[in-house]
Amino acid sequence: MYNFLTELTGNEIIAAFISAMLPVVFIVPFVIFGVLAERKVSAHIQDRLGPMRVGYHGVLQTVADFFKLIQKEDIIAEGADRKFFNLAPYLVFVGSYAVYAALPFTSTYIGSETDIGLFYIIAVSGFAVAGILMGGWASNNKYSLYGALRSAAQIVSYEIPTALVILSMVMLTGTLSLATMSEMQTAYFWNWNIFGGAEWAFTKLLLIPFMFIAFIILYISTLAEVNRLPFDMPEAESELVAGYSTEYSGMKFAMFFLAEYGNMFAVSALVSVIFFGGYQSPFGYLGNSLGLQWLIPYEQLFWFALKGILFVLVQMWLRWTLPRVRVDQLMTICWKYLIPYSFANLIIIGLITLL
């Protein structure tokens, strides 16, 4: 994409700029859709209607909320550390936005065709911790501080099982590049990693149960990394009011919000790339059978978005069904269960790939 744009515009800087801005074109509509979907999904789970006033069945509610939020006074608490307080929401957003650079939306569009996409994603998702910690500390509010410290402990802990599962997948596929990983799971859904990858051998059957375990571990830990219920310790509104975002208002609060929804999709897309073929269609492309090659990237974008949104919907479903775990139980789940299991899984998958 970047090369194409360079040729088109003849200027590397403009090409890089356009290339970097493209995910915004995706994220902002997604957030608008995602917030509305969350409200509608929760409403229908809870036997009520949700927003109904703005537009048909409230479809424009998020837009109205957005305009409300930008009109809000930007309040900075008196004792707050202004510099860090102002910086924090943007840092959190950067963390969630930077992930999109390495996500292959289609086989032709990927923000940065780096060979170490997975490694990069694990690295930049740490930005969010810094931002949350910064916001919590700078707010000079005890609830914020508690939320920030919890969040730091939680995200750092849950990165370990995430990394272990990703490592086992790297061992299996032999690549750190998300584009290559998606490429490998081509053609039909039984070639997806969750069904043991594209290689036809007896090890494929052996791998399937361990792939499912790996998927579940990865899904749980990404759920914790994006601070969604049942792991929304940092926000835990019944205990900590709103956690690290307690003192934020207006657009700064909206940035946290944007980052949360951006993150939700990013991790869902990551899970779908690693296990469910990313942009690959589960049963061949319409473009191939019709002989319309130009159609394929659009189909790929459709499948990529669909898989991501499906996992986001599962996240919402869980959120509106389960109670919240306690902070020590959260750590127990991570250190006593997820890490040993993912470690054992890593070794077993390693042995199987050796066969």
Partner 1 sequence: MALRTEELILNVGPQHPSTHGVLRLEVELEGELVVKVKPHIGYLHRCFEKHAEAMTYPQVIPYTDRMDYLASMYNNFGYVIAVEKLMGIEVPERVEYIRVIMGELQRIASHMVALGTYGLDLGAFTPFLYLFRDREKILTMFEMTCGARLLYNYMWVGGLSHDLHPDFVRLAREFIQYFRPNIVELNNLLTYNKIFIERTAHIGILPADTAINYGITGPMLRASGVNWDLRKNDTYSIYNRFDFDIPVGQGHMGTVGDCWDRYYVRVLEMEQSMRILEQALDQLPEGDINSALPKRIKPPVGTVYQRVENPKGELGYFIISDGSLNPFRVKVRGPSFVNLSVINELSRGHLIADLIAILGSIDIVLGEIDR
Give contact residues for partner 1 (rule: CB under 8 A): 42, 45-48, 142-143, 146, 229-230, 232, 236-239, 241, 320-329
Residue with smaller CB distance to partner 1, 3 or 46: 46
State in angstroms the smallest separation of the CB of 232 from partner 1: 7
Which helix (H) or strand (E) element contains residue 317?
Answer: helix 295-319
Listed in sequence order, the residues at least 6 apart from 39 whose beta carbon sits closer than 8 Å to its beta carbon are 50, 51, 58, 61
3-state SS, residue 188: strand
For residue 313, give both structure tokens. Answer: 């919907």
Q: Which residues of 185-222 are buried (b: 16+ CB within 10 A; e: fewer)?
A: bebeeebbbbbbbbeeeebbebbeebbebbbebbbbbb
Report d(CA 145, CA 141) in Å as an integer: 6
State in angstroms the smallest separation of the CB of 226 from partner 1: 16
Residue with smaller CB distance to partner 1, 249 or 288: 249
Show the CA angle centred on residue 242, arms to residues 236 and 244, nearest 5°: 100
State in angstroms the smallest separation of the CB of 49 from partner 1: 12
Residue with smaller CB distance to partner 1, 228 or 252: 228
188: β partners: 283
Residue with smaller CB distance to partner 1, 47 or 78: 47
Residue with smaller CB distance to partner 1, 149 or 184: 149
Report d(CA 342, CA 55) in Å as an integer: 47
State in angstroms the smallest separation of the CB of 281 from partner 1: 35
φ, ψ for residue 283, nearest 5 deg: -140, 65
Residue with smaller CB distance to partner 1, 183 or 232: 232
State in angstroms the smallest separation of the CB of 43 from partner 1: 9
State in angstroms the smallest separation of the CB of 249 from partner 1: 16
